[in-house]
Amino acid sequence: MTTRRTLPDPMPDVATASQALHTDQLREGWHTLMGPLGFSETLLWFAFVDATGHVLPALNQLPLDGPPDPFLADLLFYRLSEVIDGDDVVSVAMLITRPGVDTISPWDRGWARLFSAAAELAEVTIEPIFRANDADVVEVRDDGTVTRSVA
């Protein structure tokens, strides 16, 4: 007898990956864009969000080697502030990807705090920051709570 296995990680439709942003939809969009979860390196993925709340189709990535680095975060947001014009591009969506199946780590939280602080300093609006690993996609919140993905 063959039993049908239900996958716990349904992929959202790729057509919804750039739809208007709400936290749950952004999480699902990141999950869709990343495909099946599993990462061999640690990266920051970021994309620009337009005035209608849609993620623009170009994805950018930056290697995150080593511990959270204030200089790197400040430099990134200084450069991003040159792109954010308030008309066509109004905010930045970010996803930290890394190998592993653990929960949100102090490392994840450290980077998220630095990105948030650098964005504020550079006057760049950001969307909620997410972390994806080999197990799930979750929002990195500063208050210690975790919002899980559909995974």
Enumerate long-range contacts of 140-146, CB under 8 Å, 24 or more apart: 140/96, 140/104, 140/108, 140/109, 140/112, 142/109, 142/112, 142/113, 142/116, 146/103, 146/104
**Which of the four pLDDT bands, split at 50, 70 and 90, describes residue 12?**
very low
The percentage of residues in the chain with a pLDDT greater than 70, rounded to a whole number, is: 80
Tens of pLDDT along 119-134? 999 999 999 999 999 9
pTM across the whole model = 0.81
CA–CA distance from 49 to each of 1, 29, 108 (Å)?
Answer: 49, 12, 22
- How is domain 19-142 classified at the architecture level of CATH? 3-Layer(aba) Sandwich (3.40)
Does 17 have pLDDT greater than 90?
A: no
Task: Say how far apart CA 93 and CA 112 lie, in whole Å.
Answer: 12
- The whole-number pLDDT of residue 143 equals 64
Domain positions in the chain: 19-142
Residue among 129, 130, 133, 136 nearest 151 (CA):
136
- For the stretch 71-121, pLDDT in tens is 999 999 999 999 887 778 999 999 999 999 999 999 999 999 999 999 999
